[in-house]
Structure 1
Amino acid sequence: MSNQGIWFSDLSRLVNPNSIVLVGASEKPDSIGGRTLENLTTFSEFKGELLLVNPGRTEIHGRPCVASVKDLKEAPDLAILAVRADMVIQTLRDCGEMGIKFAIVFTSGFGETGEDGRAVEAEMREIVASTGMRIYGPNCPGLNNMNARLGLTFSPAWRIDRRPGPIGVATQGGGLGRSFIQAMDRGVGVGLWCSGGNEVDLEVSDYIHYMADAPDIEVIVTTLEGVRNGPRFMAAALHAARRGKPIVAIKVGKSEYGAKAAQSHTAAIAGSAEINSAVFSQLGIIEVDDIDELIDVASLLARRKPTGKEQLAVYSFSGGTAALASDMVGLAGLKLSEFAPHTIEALRNALPGFAAFTNPVDVTAEVLVNTEVSYATLKATAADPNTDLVLVPIPVEYGKTTAMLADSMVRVQQEETNTPIVPVWMSDRTGEGHRKMIDGGLMPMRAVGNAVLAVQRFIEYGRWKAKFEREWRPLADVSDAEATANLSEAKTKALLEQAGVPTPRGVVARSPAEAAQAFRNVGNGKAVMKIVSAAITHKTDIGGVRLGIASEGAAMAAYEEIHANGVKACDASQIEGVLVEPMLPSPFVEAVVGIHRDPVFGHVCTFGLGGVSIELFKDVSRRLLPLTPASAREMITETRCYELLKGYRGQPAFDIDALVDMLVKLSDFVGKHAARIEELEINPLAVRPQGQGVAALDAVLSYQGTEPSTW
């Protein structure tokens, strides 16, 4: 299968093989080979052919066993390797030469151990290249296909973690994956779990791509310690988005501590947290911060696909709890629905006069003693035409009365299938009511804050989906950086002019006399003068900038001073001269636009408030290239400086349309020369009043190869 020129293998025979060989099968119940055999034969419903390999046995538990993979009469779909590390390479080679399509390698002691282990993994990749067999692992817990009742794993937890469902899980670490899987005890059904360990060949991207096409998977969950191949990952994520399958992700390695732990665990590269988050957001991946949040968001998405316009109702038998939940809904920027008149009438007819009939609904303790009141009021709330989701916070366990409420919730949910009812079980004490909710498919959450955050993520995904540009594809040029060099400001600005990005159009003077001549040509009486040298990036720091030059004499003196300071900072041969530009009149907003090549995902554009403010306030937004007019405008509106650009407190509005146009032109320019451009920064970019455009006041380009004169 291909996506954006990137090929993905069909993993159907890995996930659901017709025939399996277990290499290292054992009679010992606590061995890796013994547990795997038990999982396949006792706790799975595998209907295909199971073959066993162990050089020391001719049969195991009454099943025939051969000494080597080479003794098999024909190649099965899948080989599972439960062998020592020193036997892995030869066994894989035998499997590949036999024509086996897939191999799962449980064994650890490879890339996670250091240089020697990485060298062995390189041999594994060579086997993949020469035979076409795909490798899952090594250093992995195996694969769990709950929907097919098939455990390709040595884990003793397989026998209990088998609740099927519409969620697919793709992880690099086994422990975090298992933590999510065991949310089954809260009613969260998982259909497939792939945990690829060191990912010597197949990786999270391959499992995501498979799940995007799998008819039994509706929501994809992933935990990542590092993205090994950015273009493949982005291709898989976009494939899932186009298939309408949301991805919920935890990215480990956001802090320095987390990044080091991730590297030692699966030898993954953690990457820049800010870039990762920006890429996830652009691809529609819902990034969460903890396993609880991962479970809550995924379970909600498994029940309904959001539109981004959802309005909520809060329903509780406790007035204080209803108020708390409503408060959190408001603080999260979500909207409580306004009930239709017939909904209010139905609630008024069913409840005592001291109850609250509008949203939030406080039905009082009446629902705990009267089944019909409980059912009728919840039914009216869930059936309200303006309500898309009902939050039901339950502060306490009340035995039979909460069990009765649970019965009502399950009954109403079966009738009002388009309006998810989300119970929040707030008490540490669980009982019959909690179990009834789970058995009825309601997946209770554990805290009001958790539930509101999950709903917020749910709705935000709906908004993203509504504006998703389906045909957009990332530039994704991750060429290995050769030696790079900087281009001077003057030469960079000349290239920007060719690309359609306005600049003040200065002149490079090479003597005091030329500086005076250049000053006469600036036109408006005030000039800016700056040292021109690719060797000097921070011109102000070395005394290489003068503002407000107002006469020819001042221009000549400034030239002498600037050039002298430049010679102190670098060799005179590296100085091209002094740039003389007209000084831009106020008002304008200083912004910064930077494009750099991220080693994992390719070129990323950063936009924000310019000058020194970018380091102080860190008010920036980011997007992968290429930019579209829509994504460029969205990028601008995400920043706080957007308020300045719109015209803050009666100030004139600035030229946002010209800024959008410039961002797209800059993106197009970098896209045409992506292999050569490492970084391009305009700081500051002057955004002038509406109708007056923008101007690049300073710019620097970092490039590979020969110096560009014209592109």
Structure 2
Amino acid sequence: MKEFSDLSRLISPKSIALIGASDRPQSVGGRTLENLTKHSQFKGDLYLINPSKSLINEMACLPSVSLITGELDLAIIAVKAEQVLQVLQECADRHTKFAIILTSGFGETGEDGKVVEAKMLEIARSSGMRIYGPNCPGLNNINAQLGMTFSPAWKIDQMPGPIGLATQGGGMGRTILQAMARGIGTGLWCSSGNEVDLEVSDFIHYMATADDIKVIVTNLEGIRNGQRFIEACQHAARHGKPIVALKIGKSEYGIKAAQSHTAAISGTAEVNSAVFKELGVIEVDDIDELIDTAALLARSQPTGKEKLAVFCYSGGTAALAADKIGSAELELAIFNEITQKQLKEQLPDFASIDNPVDTTGIVLTNPEIGYEALKTVALDPDVGAILYPIPFDYGEITNQAAQSAVRLQKEIAKPLVMVWMSDKPGDGFPVLAQSGLVPARSVGNAVKALKNFIEYGKWRSEYKGEWHPLILNTDFNKNNKIRSSSNNLTEYKAKEILKQASISVPKSIVVSDSKSAAQAFTQYGFKKAVMKIVSATITHKSDIGGVRLGISSPEEASKVFDQMIDAVTKNAPSNIIDGVMLEEMLEESFVEVVIGIHKDPVFGHICTVGLGGIAIELFKDVSRRLLPLDASRARKMINETESSKLLSGFRGKPKYDTEAFVQTLVKLSDFISVHPEIHELEINPLAVCLDGKGVVALDAVLNIEVGGNNE
């Protein structure tokens, strides 16, 4: 995998060439020039390139970038699409470090555009010059007041701050940037466009060690390189930088729109979410949640143990806030006697001094009482964060309430989360925004942000930086591959391979005629048997008459053989049949679970566990993890599912062998670590027997890569 480049001369260049500079104010080259010269504080060397001009806005203009002497950190390319390759090559020939391609009309338009992008990448790889874009709005280093962009909004969207923003789309990025109206500043915005070379992952990696960035925010339409994304997120985790991500492409509509926008690979939503969770990336569902969460993390570092207090002067709003907190499975703090005594002294008798606190309207007529009561709540030792909704605008009265909140936040380390619920901003809203309290616009949004905040704190408290996903491991023994002439293995062969992984399977034999079926039943001493059709091309055998349970005699085995062959031949005539498998039937008590492992094209091997049989499709009660697994991660994975209650002795039922289930997951993970050619493995069901009696793989599907990357 290509190492991450030092992007410091892209983010803060000392020399810039604007290729396609123009004196036409509304052109891309004209707007970019205006942003660089009139609305930025660029102190380095700026070169204007345009073969048809010698002077633009009283600045000298060169006909070619090749005429620039000395080092060139950055070329900003604003020429027509058909000229881009030639200009890129000229930049590469004179050892330019970075190129930003503002021009669109490439991979997002179809196959012809992708061919051109492939040539761009060839130039980058052969020269060492890194490419940003194409089809991007440019780069905004707001903390340095440097706008390398053609956007007319650059001159008005310049509120510096602790947020680092990495997006693929420009419009969504601008929406996040303009959250400055609520008081949160963005220090750096990188919008990578079609990502022919540099990706969002590169900018996440850079921001992980940027001193002026506290929180990384990303809006993703697709992840092109799972390895780089994982490495970048782990780099951020090692440096204590939280990442808040909005991933577009969870529905079929969203996937289609994302692909047409930036030609990105959207990926499977469930896999993306599982990977985010593993990496500590906070996944959000919309822009409001993203902004509220990032703003809160920029203000305070969570412990994961925060209990909440609600402070409000509206009883109904206080009840709503408490209800939202309960629905989010967060915990209200319990005030100690000192807090309750002080609140009783500060507030009228008809106020509610338990959590949630309803001060009643007295704080609107006496702001000092409101401040003192809020401080009392904040100082309670059980309170980790305070939720303070302001339900309406009362002019000067709510202005004073906002000022009291700002005053208190300066005195305490605990986060005070404000909510401005009214559509009328009045004078109070800007007081909160200008102080950096970033008021949420609804109680529900604020609670979502608090939940994300607290969950991230829990993840940080358990974070172990030494874990590396299997996709990052390239040290495989290629001579130890599973050999097969086809990708799909029969159930019998799949179980033979499971034995190699030390997974218990039932005693079985494959027979080719009815007489052999009867003989095998006697020879193997079956009391009861299961008979299954053996075919590498049939997965759902029971649907076509390919499974029979409870075979209890040699004569029955012989009869069922003929019936099964007839049924399968009739119902699935195009499939190759290798025989019928007789298998010992497990008659003791067990719980059915499923283990599925598949090789995701972006992130590598992912393990899924859940309730077995058809229940997994019906209830979708599953948990997912990237491989490899150790016992601790496997156990957490199992416990995340609701069905894990069935294993632990639910409602007086006996306990089942959860520990054997855990060890089975670890064994399979270890096996695939040395056999990455396994593309898909499903055990459905895995029988988890009574506690101490182990597990048995009752059915297995195995698909391997024949040839491919591991030959």
Higher mean C-alpha deviation, range 678-687 or range 613-622 = 613-622
The Cα shift of 1:311 comes to 0.5
Higher mean C-alpha deviation, range 197-206 or range 545-554 = 545-554
Equivalent residue, structure 1, for 2:481: none
Aligned pairs for 1:152-163 within 5 A: 152-163=148-159
Say if 2:445 is the partner of 1:450. Answer: yes
The Cα shift of 1:630 comes to 1.8
The separation in 1 between residues aligned to 2:59 and 2:402, in whole angstroms, is: 49
Equivalent residue, structure 1, for 2:375: 379
Equivalent residue, structure 2, for 1:273: 269
Say if 2:528 is the partner of 1:550. Answer: no
Aligned pairs for 1:595-610 within 5 A: 595-610=597-612
CA contact (8 A) 2:538 2:575 kept: no
Equivalent residue, structure 1, for 2:679: 678
CA contact (8 A) 1:477 1:603 kept: no
Equivalent residue, structure 2, for 1:180: 176
SS in 2 for 1:442: coil
* 1:624-652 C-alpha deviation (Å, 9 max, x unpaired): 11122122112211222112122221111
The match for 2:430 among 435, 439, 450 is: 435
Equivalent residue, structure 2, for 1:580: 582
The separation in 1 between residues aligned to 2:367 and 2:467, in whole angstroms, is: 53
Aligned pairs for 1:222-621 within 5 A: 222-416=218-412, 418-476=413-471, 485-523=487-525, 525-568=527-570, 574-621=576-623
The Cα shift of 1:696 comes to 0.3
Say if 2:169 is the partner of 1:167. Answer: no
The separation in 1 between residues aligned to 2:543 and 2:31, in whole angstroms, is: 67
CA contact (8 A) 1:397 1:430 kept: yes
* 1:559-586 C-alpha deviation (Å, 9 max, x unpaired): 3333444555678994433222221013
Say if 2:33 is the partner of 1:32. Answer: no
TM-score (norm 2): 0.95
The separation in 1 between residues aligned to 2:2 and 2:377, in whole angstroms, is: 48
* 1:162-213 C-alpha deviation (Å, 9 max, x unpaired): 1111111110110000000000000011111000111111011111111111
5+ residue gaps, structure 1: none
Equivalent residue, structure 2, for 1:90: 86
* 1:128-157 C-alpha deviation (Å, 9 max, x unpaired): 011110010111000011111111111111
SS in 1 for 2:299: coil
Paired amino acid for 1:239? H
Say if 2:195 is the partner of 1:199. Answer: yes
Paired amino acid for 1:19? S
CA contact (8 A) 2:535 2:575 kept: no
CA contact (8 A) 1:606 1:623 kept: yes
The Cα shift of 1:513 comes to 4.0
Paired amino acid for 1:430? P
CA contact (8 A) 2:537 2:575 kept: no
CA contact (8 A) 2:6 2:206 kept: yes
CA contact (8 A) 2:159 2:180 kept: yes
The separation in 2 between residues aligned to 1:132 and 1:342, in whole angstroms, is: 66
The match for 1:626 among 625, 628, 631 is: 628
The Cα shift of 1:270 comes to 1.3
5+ residue gaps, structure 2: 475-483
Paired amino acid for 1:74? G
Paired amino acid for 1:131? S
CA contact (8 A) 1:318 1:364 kept: yes
Paired amino acid for 2:512? R
Say if 2:693 is the partner of 1:692. Answer: yes
Equivalent residue, structure 1, for 2:637: 635
SS in 1 for 2:216: strand
Equivalent residue, structure 2, for 1:132: 128
SS in 2 for 1:157: coil
The match for 2:649 among 641, 647, 650 is: 647
Paired amino acid for 2:74? L
The Cα shift of 1:235 comes to 1.4
The separation in 2 between residues aligned to 1:528 and 1:25, in whole angstroms, is: 77
From the superposition, tell whether residues 460 and 483 of structure 1 become closer, same or farther in structure 2 (CA, over 3 Å): farther
From the superposition, tell whether residues 54 and 572 of structure 1 become closer, same or farther in structure 2 (CA, over 3 Å): closer
Paired amino acid for 1:244? G
Paired amino acid for 2:664? M
The Cα shift of 1:374 comes to 2.0
CA contact (8 A) 2:389 2:421 kept: yes
The separation in 1 between residues aligned to 2:467 and 2:485, in whole angstroms, is: 31
Equivalent residue, structure 1, for 2:96: 100
CA contact (8 A) 1:6 1:235 kept: no
* 1:431-482 C-alpha deviation (Å, 9 max, x unpaired): 2111111111110000001111111111112222222332111112899xx9
The separation in 2 between residues aligned to 1:690 and 1:23, in whole angstroms, is: 72
SS in 2 for 1:310: coil
Equivalent residue, structure 1, for 2:477: none
Alpha carbon RMSD of aligned pairs, Å? 2.1
CA contact (8 A) 2:98 2:130 kept: yes
Higher mean C-alpha deviation, range 174-183 or range 695-704 = 695-704
CA contact (8 A) 1:628 1:664 kept: yes
The separation in 1 between residues aligned to 2:612 and 2:657, in whole angstroms, is: 16
CA contact (8 A) 1:484 1:678 kept: no
The separation in 2 between residues aligned to 1:108 and 1:336, in whole angstroms, is: 51
The Cα shift of 1:497 comes to 1.0
From the superposition, tell whether residues 112 and 277 of structure 1 become closer, same or farther in structure 2 (CA, over 3 Å): same
Paired amino acid for 1:500? S
Higher mean C-alpha deviation, range 240-249 or range 309-318 = 240-249
Paired amino acid for 2:194? N
Say if 2:668 is the partner of 1:660. Answer: no
Paired amino acid for 1:288? V
Aligned pairs for 1:41-56 within 5 A: 41-56=37-52
The separation in 1 between residues aligned to 2:35 and 2:147, in whole angstroms, is: 6
The Cα shift of 1:216 comes to 1.1
From the superposition, tell whether residues 52 and 633 of structure 1 become closer, same or farther in structure 2 (CA, over 3 Å): same
SS in 1 for 2:361: helix
CA contact (8 A) 2:80 2:103 kept: yes
The separation in 2 between residues aligned to 1:392 and 1:115, in whole angstroms, is: 53
Higher mean C-alpha deviation, range 611-620 or range 154-163 = 611-620
The separation in 2 between residues aligned to 1:220 and 1:521, in whole angstroms, is: 66
SS in 2 for 1:198: coil
Aligned pairs for 1:104-119 within 5 A: 104-119=100-115
The separation in 1 between residues aligned to 2:411 and 2:117, in whole angstroms, is: 54
SS in 1 for 2:517: helix
The separation in 1 between residues aligned to 2:2 and 2:428, in whole angstroms, is: 49
Higher mean C-alpha deviation, range 376-385 or range 150-159 = 376-385
SS in 2 for 1:7: coil
